[in-house]
Amino acid sequence: MLPSSGQEVYDMIMREIEPDLVTDQIELMGEKYKDETPEQKKARGERYQKAFAEYDVRYAQYLTEQQTMVHSFKRNLIASVERNSSDDDQAKIDSLESAFSTTA
């Protein structure tokens, strides 16, 4: 599936870091950890803290890739249009020069 929303982007990255923090798992958190001890809870909180820190790093990478892709796409499109335009003009000139060429 293509990430068409912020939630999908978040889930796509977080799923590889901490499955507990994917959006569809959040609601299950209370039931899943109802019997944990205070120590376990603290450890889990610290794990989440590290997971979010890791998310920030990966998200920054992801965003850079996307921005690069957008810029590259725009550059390629512009180049393509310019090339087509130039080819069209050149083809017209070639055709006309040929049509009115002189021979010995």
Partner 1 sequence: MMRKHPSLFGEQRLLFFVEVPKAQVEEMKDVAGKAEKQLLAGLPDKPELAIQIQQFKIDAAENDGAKLKASFEAGMKSLAQALFDKDKASASTVAELTSLAARVQGKMEASNAPVTLNVDAVTKNLTIGVGEVRYLTPETAKMIEDNLPGCPEDMLRAIKEAAKEAVPGSRILEGFTNFSAAMRAIPLEHRVLALLVLTGKKESRDIKDTAIQGKVDSFVAYCKGDTGVQQLMKKVRGKFMLIKGEENAEKRKDSDAKIPGHALGLCKNFDEKPNPTQADKNLMLAKLMMAGVDVSNEAAVFDKKLSPEARFPPLQGDAFDLALNKAMGALSFLANLYEQVQGVVQKPGEKKKEAAAAKAAESAGSAPEDATVTAQRTKLLGEMKVAPGTSVDAYIAAKEGLQGTKQREVAGKEGDVVTKKGLAAAASATPADTAALATAEATLSKAQKELKELTTDVDQLKLMKTGAEQSNKDIRENVDALRTLLATDLVKDREGASALAEFLKGLGCSLILPVGLELKISASGGVPSLVNMGKFNNVVLSQLKKDPGGVITFDALGNVTSKPEDFASALKSLRAHYIAESAKPK
Q: How many CB atoms lie within 10 A of CB 20?
A: 16
Compute the Cα dihedral for 50, 33, 3, 10 and give only its sign. Answer: negative
Number of residues that bind partner 1 (CB under 8 A): 50
Q: How far is the CB of 14 from partner 1 (least distance, A)?
A: 8
The residue within the footprint of partner 1, chosen from 19, 57, 83, 85 (CB under 8 A), is 85
Cβ-contact 59, 87 below 8 angstroms = no
Cβ-contact 16, 55 below 8 angstroms = no
Q: Under the rule (CB under 8 A), what is the footprint of partner 1?
A: 2-10, 14, 20-21, 23, 26, 29-30, 33, 41-42, 44-46, 48-49, 52, 55, 59, 63, 66-67, 69-70, 73-74, 77-78, 81, 85, 92-93, 95-104
